[in-house]
Amino acid sequence: MRVLLVNMPWSPIDVPSLALGILKRSATANRPGTTAEVYHANLEYTDWITERTEFGKNDYEFYSLSSYFLGCGDWIFSSALYDDPSWRTEEFTAALGGKLSETRMRRCHELHALAPEFVERTAREIVAREPDVVGFCSTFQQNTAALAAAKHVKRLAPHITTVLGGANCDAEQGHAAHRNFPFVDYVVRGEGEAAFPRLLDVVEGSGRPRAIPGLCWRDAEGTSVANPMAASPLPPAAITSPDYTGYFERLAASAARHWVEPKLVVEGARGCWWGEKHHCTFCGLNGTFMEFRSKTPERFYDEIMELARTHRVLDMYVVDNILDMGYVRTVLPRIVDSGYDLRLHIEIKANMRRSQLQTLADAGMIYVQPGIESLNSRVLNLMDKGVSGCQNVRMLRDGAETGLAVSWNYLHGFPDERDEDYDPVIAQLPALEHLRPPVDLSARIAIERFSPYFSRPELGFETLRPDIQYRFTYDLPESELYDLAYVFEAPERGIGRQTAQRLNDAIKTWHEAHASSRLTHTDLGDRILLVSRRRAFDWRTRELTRPVELAAFRLLDQPHQPAALARKLTGQLAGAAVDEASVQELLDRWLEWGVVFTDAGQYVHVAPAAVNEDLLRLEFMRRATAADEESPAESPAPPAVAVS
C-alpha cells in the first residue's frame, strides 16, 4: 500500500511536521509492505507564491502564526474549498477592515484569489504519485487548505482514499468535518499512532471501521458515523518517534531556505501534570486528553541525540505542553555532558527555582515559555495558575540572570477581575523594563474549545457563538460551525477598555525601553552594589552596607511578606530585634528605587546578579573618572575588582 501524507499551508516552514513524521513511522513499522512519504505542500506553496507575488518570510509567519485568532490563513484557502476566487470577500473585508492594515488586506485578497490555482496544482501532484491513501494533517490554520486539497484529489481520482486528522479534528470538530465534507472518507480523532495503521487495514479490506476508537466513517447508506473516542490516552511506550526523512532535503531546495534556520521537533511528554489537578480556566491545548504521560528519560535522551546526529541540526522545539520535572535530574544533565551544543525551546511552569533554570540553560534550553500570563495574584487565581505575581516576576529576573530567553504573554478579560487589580501592576512596570517584556501587547482572552471557560458556563461565559472567522470562511449553518470551531465569541468580561489601554500603553513603553534598560546587583559580601539604567529612575548606583539591608535583600531573592521578613531578619541578625514597621520602611524605600516588586502583600527584588562584564565596566568607568579628575593625561589603572 502506498501512503502519501500531506502537510498543507499554513504549517510552519522552519520545522518538519511532528504529526506526519509520527504517522509515517507508525504506518511503515506496523504494516510490512506499506510505503509512506510526506509531501511538503507548505514548502511547495512558498516556492509557488514567491514566483507570482512579493511574498516574504513575514507574510508566511503572519498567516501561519500571528493571524490565528483572526482566521486570515483559513480564509485564504476557502476560495479553493468553495471553487470561488472571490468567496466572501465582502464579509472578510467588513469583519477585519479595522484590524488589518491596507497592505495586509490587499495581500489577503491577492492570496485568496490565487489559492484555487495552487490547490488544483497540488491535487494533480498528489494524484501523479499514485497513492492508495492520502492523509491530510489539519492543525491551526491548515483546515481549509487540507479540505480543499482533499476535495480536488477526490474530484481527480475518486478511487484514492482521503483521510483527515490532527488537532482540528479532535472530538466534535472531527465529526463536524466528516459529516459536512463528503469528499473526506475518514477522519481520525485523537492520537493517531494506533488508529492510523488500523485504518490502513480497513482500507485494504482486513479490518472493521467500527472497531477503531474515535474514527469517523460512512456506513452502507453513506451516513457519517463517529465511533466513541478512546477511553484513555496512549501509554508513554506507545508514543511513536517521528521520521523526518525528506524534510531537510526539500527545505534546502526551497526559497524558504533563505528565510529560516531549520529546527527539529521533539516530544518527551503529552498532557499536562498541572492541568490534571488544576485546569487553567482559559486553556484548551490538550483537547480530550489532559492526562500527563512522559517517555522514559533514557528513551527521550536517545531520541534527541539520534535526531541531532541523523539530521545534523542542533536547534529543537520540545513540544511538550509542560516539562516533566524529572527530566531536570535525568535527561538534562546527560545533555550537558553529551558535548552537543543544543538550543532548545520548552514550556515550563513559572515557579521553577533558579538552580533548575540554570540546569535548563546549561543543557541548551535557552528559549522557555513559562506561562506567566499576568503579574497580579488575584487574576492568576482566577486562571487557576497556581503561581503568584511575585513568583512570575522572580521568573523574569532569574531567567535574565541565567541567560534564558523568556517568552510570555499578558492576558486580560477574566470574569470577576477588577480594574484595581491592574493599577499597582501598571504603576510598577517601569521598574521591570530591564526584564524581558511580554511578546506583544496584552490581549483579551479568547474562549477555546476544551477549556473550562468553554465547558463550564458557570465560570462566566454563558453565551458562546462560533467566532466570526468561521462565518466568513465556511458555508455552514451556525449549529455545524459550533461543532467545527475551536475559538468562540463571548461577551467581554473583566476590565474595561480604558484600563486595558493603560496596561498596553505601559507594555508598549516597556518594549521601547527594554534594550537600553539595566538593573543588576553584585553581592561582595560586606556590601551589595546595585547598578541601574532605567528611564523612570534617576539614580545610577546604590550600595547596601548595613547588615539589615544585606540580609533583607538576600532574603528577597524569594517572595516574602513584611512580617515574615522581620521574623527571619531577627533570627539572622544576632542581638538585633527587627520590627515589621522598620522592614516596611525599608521596603517602601526600595519600592521607590524600583528595586523590589510587590503584589498581594509580598515583595521580591528584581535585580538579576551582574555578570563579570557589567561589574568590570562599572569599575573601569569609576577609576577612569577618578584618574581624569586627578590627571587627565594619565591613563586609568586596570580594574581591580574580580568577581567569580
pLDDT of residue 577: 87
- Per-residue CA distances from 165 to 5, 19, 249, 482 (Å): 11, 9, 25, 19
Residue 487, strand partner residues:
448
pLDDT of residue 614: 47
pLDDT 10s digits, 473-488? 999 999 999 999 999 9
User: 494533480: which residue's cell?
Assistant: 124
Q: What are phi and psi of 2, to 5 degrees?
A: -105, 125
- Per-residue CA distances from 102 to 79, 98, 105, 336 (Å): 21, 10, 5, 49
What is the distance between the terminal CA atoms of the chain, rounded to a whole angstrom? Answer: 63
Give me the helices (H) in 181-266, please: 192-204, 247-252
Residues sharing a CB contact under 8 Å with residue 84, sequence separation 6 or more, in sequence order: 116
pLDDT of residue 287: 84
Give me the helices (H) in 462-573, please: 468-471, 478-484, 497-514, 547-555, 562-572
How many residues belong to the chain? 644
Q: Are strands 541-544 and 596-599 parallel, antiparallel or unpaired?
A: unpaired
User: Is the Cβ–Cβ distance between 562 and 584 less than 8 Å?
Assistant: yes
> Cα dihedral sign for 479, 480, 484, 489?
negative
The segments of the chain whose pLDDT lies below 50 read 613-644
Half-sphere exposure of 423 (CA within 13 A, CB side): 3
pTM above 0.75, yes or no: yes
For residue 502, count other CB atoms closer than 10 A to its CB. Answer: 15
Please state at what angle helix 72-81 crosses helix 102-128, rounded to 10 degrees: 50
Residues sharing a CB contact under 8 Å with residue 505, sequence separation 6 or more, in sequence order: none
pLDDT of residue 630: 44
Peptide bond into 259 cis (omega under 30): no
User: Is the Cβ–Cβ distance between 142 and 180 less than 8 Å?
Assistant: no
Please state at what angle helix 102-128 crosses helix 41-50, rounded to 10 degrees: 120
Q: What are phi and psi of 451, to 5 degrees?
A: -80, 155
User: Is the Cβ–Cβ distance between 430 and 388 less than 8 Å?
Assistant: no
Q: Spell 132-143 as b/e; 16+ CB within 10 A means b.
A: bbbbbbbbbbbb
Q: Are strands 269-270 and 293-294 parallel, antiparallel or unpaired?
A: antiparallel
Gap between the Cα atoms of 248 and 445, Å rounded: 36
**The C-alpha cell that represents 34 in the structure block:** 506499506
pLDDT of residue 68: 96
Residues sharing a CB contact under 8 Å with residue 372, sequence separation 6 or more, in sequence order: 350, 392, 395, 396, 406, 408, 409, 410, 438
pLDDT 10s digits, 198-246? 999 999 999 999 999 999 999 999 999 999 999 999 999 999 999 999 9
Largest CA distance in the chain: 99
Q: How far is CA 326 from the centre of its chain?
A: 21
Of the candidates 200, 198, 205, the one whose C-alpha atom is nearest the C-alpha of residue 230 is: 198
> Cα dihedral sign for 320, 321, 327, 328?
positive
Q: Are strands 443-444 and 447-448 parallel, antiparallel or unpaired?
A: unpaired
Q: DSSP letters along 125-192, please?
A: HHHHT--SEEEEE--STTHHHHHHHHHHHHHH-TTSEEEEESGGGSHHHHHHHHHH-TT--EEE-S-H
DSSP 411: E
**The C-alpha cell that represents 59 in the structure block:** 507574510
Gap between the Cα atoms of 410 and 374, Å rounded: 5
User: Is the Cβ–Cβ distance between 324 and 318 less than 8 Å?
Assistant: no
Residue at 499: amino acid letter: T
User: Is the Cβ–Cβ distance between 396 and 435 less than 8 Å?
Assistant: yes
pLDDT of residue 341: 93
